[in-house]
């Protein structure tokens, strides 16, 4: 999507550090962290939110959790929260699906 900030980051039209990249996803630091560690797992496919997940997207959705788990392990986080805000009324501000990885550990 042309006007999507996360698509621009994924396409490297906006500079930003990738903590992880694979065929289906990238991981970036949240620009306005709400915890000591606050990362965002983004699918490369532009899916606006959980509401728009389509048949066949299960693999992508599951993959996001696996990426979060592997990265948390790599970073040595003792515990963490995974959060997805769904829709404007669910607190979602950026309409490109993302999984928050939040931890009081760094
Ligand atoms: P949401 O409320 O949509 O679940 O979360 C969007 C998150 O994206 C927020 O935590 C916000 O701080 C973060 N964010 C907004 N704009 C940018 C940006 O340009 N770059 C990065 N890395 N994070 C952003
Ligand atoms: Zn997008």
Contacts of 11 (CB under 8 A, 6+ apart): none
In percent, how much of the chain has pLDDT > 90?
94
The mean per-residue pLDDT over the stretch 73-79 comes to 97
Averaged confidence pLDDT in the chain? 97
Question: Residue 10: nearest ligand to its CA?
Answer: 2
Please, are residues 76 and 36 in contact by the beta-carbon 8 Å criterion? no
Q: How far is the CA of 94 from the centre of ligand 1 (A)?
A: 6
Distance (Å) from CA 32 to ligand 1 centroid: 7
Find out whether 22 and 16 touch, Cβ atoms under 8 Å: no
Q: What angle do CA 54, 60, 63 make, to 5 degrees?
A: 150
15-52 residue pLDDT tens:
889 999 999 999 999 999 999 999 999 999 999 999 99
């Amino acid at each position: 999507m042309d006007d999507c900030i996360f698509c621009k980051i994924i396409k490297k039209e906006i500079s930003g550090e990738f903590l992880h990249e694979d065929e289906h996803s990238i991981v970036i630091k949240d620009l306005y962290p709400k915890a000591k560690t606050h990362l965002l797992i983004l699918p490369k496919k532009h899916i606006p939110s959980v509401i728009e997940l389509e048949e066949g997207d299960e693999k992508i959705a599951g993959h996001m959790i696996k990426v979060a788990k592997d990265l948390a392990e790599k970073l040595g986080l003792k515990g963490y929260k995974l959060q997805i805000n769904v829709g404007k009324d669910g607190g979602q501000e950026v309409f490109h699906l993302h999984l928050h990885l939040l931890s009081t550990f760094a």
